[in-house]
A and B are shown apart, each in its own frame.
Chain A
Amino acid sequence: AQTVTQSQPEMSVQEAETVTLSCTYDTSENNYYLFWYKQPPSRQMILVIRQEAYKQQNATENRFSVNFQKAAKSFSLKISDSQLGDTAMYFCAFVSLGTGGTSYGKLTFGQGTILTVHP
């Protein structure tokens, strides 16, 4: 079974600074995707960034980038130039790929990290 661990229950950062959120996962699979989702107080789950395990290059989306270390099973999220609107709970998530099986499409989430951006 896959597990996802976020060891930082809460983080805070000053506006315009950089912050890194940690995530580790455990799996015996070789083909999978990793995600970071953001959940602001509005409750909506918003996709931040996606990383395919077969890609060595780290994914980036504007101010958001990841540090994907496949051997170490680590997937951290870096937010640059933090903005007040980045205040939210951030979830790391894992999904195994393939063509079937009971884990097919099952998105496994970490416990979440509450990020607060201070003015």
Chain B
Amino acid sequence: DTAVSQTPKYLVTQMGNDKSIKCEQNLGHDTMYWYKQDSKKFLKIMFSYNNKELIINETVPNRFSPKSPDKAHLNLHINSLELGDSAVYFCASSHEGLAGLETQYFGPGTRLLVL
């Protein structure tokens, strides 16, 4: 029943490792996003994909690589993890209506802790 799901919910890993976070939406939306929420709770967009094509790519280290195998999935792969990557990562999705992209619905978040 979950509209936007993420796995895993918690991820604890060592510096230098490579990890992936998966996101799936069953809302039939055509656009998906990744946001990062830092320790001060500030939320900032990282990437956006529309129909599997990258449309937003904010200033994010190239260690972060999103991959969209189909429009229901948007995964985030992070290489060579650093301490500063510790944060909560949210996936979201929205539908492209007549007026443009509409309300974004969020997944439950993945708390990443890099030791």
B-contacting residues of A (Cβ < 8 Å)?
Answer: 31, 33, 35, 37, 39, 42-47, 50, 52, 89, 91, 95-99, 102, 104-109, 111-112
Contacts and interface: CB of A to CB of B under 8 A. Distances in A.
A111 B92 CA distance: 19
Given A89-B41, A91-B43, A105 B101 contact: yes
A14 to B, nearest CB: 24
A104 B111 CA distance: 27
Interface of B: 31, 33, 35, 40-45, 48, 50, 55-56, 88, 90, 92, 94, 99-106, 108-109, 111
B90 A45 contact: yes
Contacts of A95: 101, 104
Contacts of B106: 37, 44-46
**B interface, by DSSP: helix, strand, loop or mixed?**
strand
B31 A105 contact: yes
A8 B77 CA distance: 35
Contact of A105 (B41, B50, B108): B50
Point out which of A89, A95, A99, A107 has the most chain B C-beta atoms below 10 A from its C-beta. Answer: A107
A106 B48 contact: yes
A33 B103 contact: yes
Contacts of A52: 99
A37 B37 CA distance: 14
A116 to B, nearest CB: 15
A102 to B, nearest CB: 7
B105 A47 contact: yes
